[in-house]
Structure 1
Amino acid sequence: MCKEATGLNLAFVFPGQGAQYVGMGRELIERYPIAAQTFKAADAALGFALSEIILSGPEETLKLTYHAQPALLTASIAAFRVFQEQSPRSAIVSAGHSLGEYSALVAAGVLEFQDAVKLVYQRGRFMDEAVPAGEGAMAAVLGLDEAALEKVCEEATHGDDLVEMANMNCPGQIAISGTAEAVSRASVLAKAAGAKRVIPLVVSGPFHCQLMRPAAGKLSEALGTTQFQTGRWPVVANVDAVARTDAEGIRLALEQQLYKPVRFQDDVLTMRDMGVDTVIEFGPGTVLSGLIRKTERGLRTLHVEDMASLEETLSALAE
């Protein structure tokens, strides 16, 4: 957790569900044995060929929650391990967006990779089972602050027919989650309250709200039987933006993450306050890099998902 000899204070971050695409990681596994071994280890952990779904699809199969989550974890950790082989640098902290928090824990050495693959496969199953298909929904609300959107959600909630803030991604971008009817009501109210846009999200369930409590109960049991190690560096929890190293605190944060909001904007501020100056995003896409820049312009962002981005990142770190 000491500062890099190069003068860099690094944070490693990992994307969440929705970032996946068919073929992610292909270049790295064709070039680097460590990446291929990571994909094979995921297959062995699950007892089926997840790697075939990742590399060949079809997309409809990959985007199923219980496939997308272990697939993203696998592609992200493969990219991370390749980077570590080429540039064995330490971070002072890591973080992720929802599912990505598990990748961050693997990178920090808190969770064994194969244990994490099994966990997030179960997590995906539990999340899918919590609410019948079509009964839940999510939407992204742009241009409305947290206080105003909180009032909107309260007004749109009728008992168990609820909607809540689910993802505080960056200034002016908050996702809401709940029953389909309540999210629809909140979308109308948000526009009336001054939101610039409300965008329905294509998701398989109402994640990060109270409707996920049944899934959290099941996940708690799975977390309780999984071994957690002392990490090489702390990991920032989505639920409260606290950088943790203790196993029990991490377990509880992962359980609560299913039904509480992902406070990624606050995660970024925590990393900044810890002295981070450079953030590397591992895995498909650069969604988190964009959110980080919108939250804290002073942080430099790099990413690793294929050969070109790996070379660019290694070159940037060598400057």
Structure 2
Amino acid sequence: MKQVAFMFPGQGSQVIGMGKDFFDAYDEVKQLFAMANEVLHKDIQQIMFEGPMEVLTETENAQPALLLTSVSINRMLEKEGIRPAMTVGHSLGEYSALVASGALSADEALPLVQTRGRLMEAAFPKGQGTMAAVLGLQEEVIQSVLDTIKDEIVDIANLNCPGQIVISGSKEGIEQASEQLKAAGAKRVIPLNVSGPFHSRLMKKANEEFANYLDKVNVQDAAIPVYANVSARPVTKKEEIKNLLIQQLYSPVRFEESIRQMIDKGVDAFVEVGSGKVLSGLLRKIDRKATVFAVHDIASMENFIRWYKEEA
């Protein structure tokens, strides 16, 4: 049987109508959406299918919406007898990976990420923190520039793929860093359309309340290894999973390193499970030779299933 790794997208991959293909076709997905509406105490289904986009993009809506889409698709793949050998998620996507790996139930993960989104939004004054993608500079060069910024906080937030690293911090700090990084040889520094300085030390304010909430959630040992954002290493033990989820709020997402570790395990293909193709694009920049699928609608799922069930 083929060995596959599932990748789960994070915030920024949301689009109006995501998951609707599966909702219309499968009763199991309709039941998942009904459960989501109930545990979130809002009509997340309507927000996902009808928008408006600015409401869907609010962190406390985008996070459960993306998780619900990924979990619905994963459930349909499970029904086809397809389970990953290992999983990884990008930031929020780590929670979808934990559901797929058996460490979290969907009905507990949905309000957990809704709470996470709310706390992340509240951790730093709205409009005063932001993020930017730095293209064409090594991590060491970026860090050396950030170390020179004294009165503002700016941290490395995402190590996505060769030549693409995201920084996060106060608006003033990002502006200062952007100018200095361009002077240091960055090809481009692109401001990101985000509502806060995620994965930076400025998120530590959310830490204690999130840890208290997470403590009440029934996290289990994972049946399938999850490559953690913080460590880029596989985890299965529930206590380690919890500790890493708390650190993940203010630590960099080590996506490229996680993928390289997974490649070394010899998987036959990487499968992005959920809305969009962002992670598939990053993976091709990490390893052009890797086999990659993005399963975001029924047609793309059927394409992947055909490949999976072909004789090797």
SS class of match (2:147): helix
Which position in structure 1 is the counterpart of 2:299? 308
Q: Which residue of 1 aligns with 2:84?
A: 91
How far does the alpha carbon of each residue in 1:194-229 deviate from its partner, in whole angstroms, 9 at most, with x for none? 100110000010000000001122111111111111
In the TM superposition, residue 275 of structure 1 has moved relative to its aligned partner by 2.2
Across the aligned residues of Structure 1 and Structure 2, the Cα RMSD in angstroms comes to: 1.0
> 1:244 Cα shift?
0.3
Match of 1:293 in 2: 284
Q: Alpha-carbon deviation of 1:318?
A: 2.4
> Which consecutive unaligned segments of at least 5 residues does structure 2 have?
none
Residue aligning to 1:118: 111
Q: Which of 259, 266, 270 is residue 250 of structure 2 equivalent to?
A: 259
Correspondence 1:280 to 2:266: no
Q: Distance in 2 between matches of 1:209 and 1:297?
A: 30
- AA aligned to 1:168 is L
Kindly provide the CA deviation profile for residues 85-124 of structure 1, in whole angstroms up to 9, marking residues without a partner as x: 1x21221110100000000000011001010001000000
- Partner letter of residue 285 of structure 2? K
Q: TM-score, normalised by structure 1?
A: 0.95
2:26 is the counterpart of 1:32: yes
Deviation at 1:272, TM superposition (A): 1.1
Match of residue 52, structure 1, among 43, 46, 52: 46
Quick check: 1:80–1:304 contact (8 Å CA) kept in 2?
no
CA-CA distance at 1:185 after TM superposition: 0.5
User: What are structure 1's unaligned runs of at least 5 residues?
Assistant: none
Matches of 1:36 and 1:276, distance apart in 2: 32
**1:150 matches 2:143:** yes
Instruction: Identify the residue that residue 130 of structure 2 maps to in structure 1.
Output: 137
- 1:241 corresponds to which of 221, 232, 246: 232
Identical aligned pairs, as a percentage?
45
Kindly indicate whether the alpha-carbon contact (under 8 Å) linking 1:236 and 1:267 is maintained by their aligned counterparts in 2.
yes
- Cα distance between partner residues in 2 of 1:69 and 1:104: 13
Runs of 4+ in 1 over 6 A off after TM superposition: none
Q: Is the 8 A contact 2:39 2:111 kept in 1?
A: yes
**Inter-partner Cα distance in structure 2 for 1:35 and 1:303:** 19
The 8 Å contact of residues 222 and 238 in structure 2, kept in 1 or not, is answered as: no
Deviation at 1:299, TM superposition (A): 2.1
CA contact under 8 A between 1:83 and 1:304: conserved in structure 2? no
- Per the TM alignment, residue 230 of structure 1 is displaced from its structure 2 partner at its CA by 2.1
Task: Report the counterpart of residue 101 of structure 1 in structure 2.
Answer: 94
Mapped to 2, the partners of 1:292 and 1:39 lie a distance apart of 30
Give the equivalent residue in structure 2 for 1:19.
13
Number of aligned positions between the proteins: 310
Match for 1:187 among 178, 202, 213? 178
The one-letter code of the counterpart of 2:112 is L
Q: TM-score, normalised by structure 2?
A: 0.97
How far residue 297 of structure 1 moved from its aligned partner, in angstroms, is: 2.5
Distance (whole Å) between structure 1 residues aligned to residue 288 and residue 243 of structure 2 = 31
Query: Partner amino acid for 1:81?
Result: R
Which amino acid in structure 2 is aligned with residue 122 of structure 1? T
CA distance in 1, matches of 2:135, 2:6: 27
Q: Give, as a single letter, the amino acid of the residue that structure 1 aligns with 2:304.
A: T
Residues of 1 paired with 2:289 and 2:209: CA distance? 40
